Amino acid sequence: MADVNVLDVLLYGEPIGTLTRVSGDRILFAFNEAYIADENRPVLGLGFKDHLGGLLTDFRPTQTRVMPFFANLLPEGHMRTYLAERAGVNPVRDFFLLWVLGSDLPGAISIRPADGEAWPPDAHEDIDADDEDRHEGALRFSLAGVQLKFSAIHEARGGLTIPAKGVGGSWIVKLPSREFVGVPENEYSMMTLARLIGMDVPALHLIEVDAIRNLPEGIGALEGQALAIQRFDRLEDGTAVHIEDFAQVFGVYPHDKYKKASAANIAQVIGIESGEEDIAEFIRRLTFNTLIGNADMHLKNWSMIYPDRRHAVLAPVYDFVSTIPYIPDSKAALNFSRTKRFDQYSEDELAHLAAKALLAEKLVLDTARETVALFHQHWHAEKENLPLTEEVIRAVEAHLKTIPMA
């Protein structure tokens, strides 16, 4: 069966299903019988539950792309093109990107060729004898997203090293942007403010680029500071913790991450799956990102995490950046409830969100008011102490004047 290729899908290191590519680049996903029969099975994703909480097992084949849940494990944009070129893979073919990047994906999923599967000659017309080396090079950048970031290991001397084969890193390193000045410092500052306000923020620090060992070839000369963030999907001993972003939850392809759902839809899922503490944390984060002018909190920047492998709770904070100093924008990435406009983020809009998401209005409004008060307290105390440019400070302060709740 030369026209059939099979990838094993593993969760916490145990096979749970397969992705099968057949002639014509059609791709099918199926759970294995052992996973289906296991009443105490670990949860792969909320989108695999039916309306009664049972396991869905019948999935439509896809063409060239894998189904959205798996597509969202892969990088996007320039990062995807860069990795595909390094691996010798056509960037539109998800199946083969998962083949070469599957050893260190977000969460507790890993994907590997089934026993006896050899790299097919039609994966890319330019494949040559150096396939294995190219695949291992690509592995060093396997985290989903568009920014140049990779998994790394913290060294005792204080630096960071990118693992030679991209497996085992417990930190994420985000390199400085070529387009915009001070993005790592911006994110570090906003994440620090979020922690001061009481949000669940992973350990993070700034590091000089020249203190990072084993940077891959082909990314060009970089100067300044990078941002290192401890991975919340890895424990200290390297054990994987499962996560999924809300594009996966809603079955939305990455290119639709700004569409298809609203903050109210996310809040409703959190309300169903978790409790009041997570609802309050969601409103805290939504309000904070509105105040700082983060116009990029799309579906992939909200995630659920599975601490006990079975029950989903809101994952820690990530990707908090004030985007308006770089790209002025009057709208959030997603509708709050009826609108995306920052200047319409009001108590009335939040009351509408609460009603739509079936949440307690008092909890939503009280949390938002408290967050605004704490933001002003810590912003005024810390803005001059954080590594923010004057341009970022001015942009945030001008933006605050436009928000009804601020």
**pLDDT tens digits along 201-260:** 999 999 988 888 777 665 666 778 999 999 999 998 889 999 999 999 999 999 999 999
- Main-chain dihedrals φ then ψ at residue 27, nearest 5 degrees: -125, 135
| Cα gap 62→308, rounded to integer Å | 31
249 within 8 A of 269, measured Cβ to Cβ = yes
Share of the chain above pLDDT 70, in %: 88
* Residue 318 near residue 21 (C-beta atoms within 8 A): no
To the query of whether residue 245 is one of the catalytic residues in this protein, the response is: no
**pLDDT value of position 155:** 63
Given 296, 308, 348, 366, the catalytic residue: 296
* Span 71-127, pLDDT tens digits: 999 988 877 887 788 778 888 899 999 998 898 899 999 999 998 788 887 776 443
Mean pLDDT, the chain, as a whole number? Answer: 89
Query: In this model, does residue 145 exceed pLDDT 80?
Result: no
Distance CA 90, CA 94 (A): 9
At 134 the pLDDT is 43
Residues 104, 80: contact at Cβ < 8 Å?
Answer: no
In terms of pLDDT, which residue wins out, 229 or 166?
Answer: 229
Instruction: Tell which residue, 379, 396, 21, 383, has the closest CA to residue 197.
Output: 379
**Contact indicator for 300, 254 with CB cutoff of 8 Å:** yes
pLDDT at 143: 36
Per-residue pLDDT band for 180 (boundaries 50, 70, 90) equals: confident
Structure tokens at 397: 């302060």
Least confident of 30-39, 117-126, 247-256, 334-343: 117-126
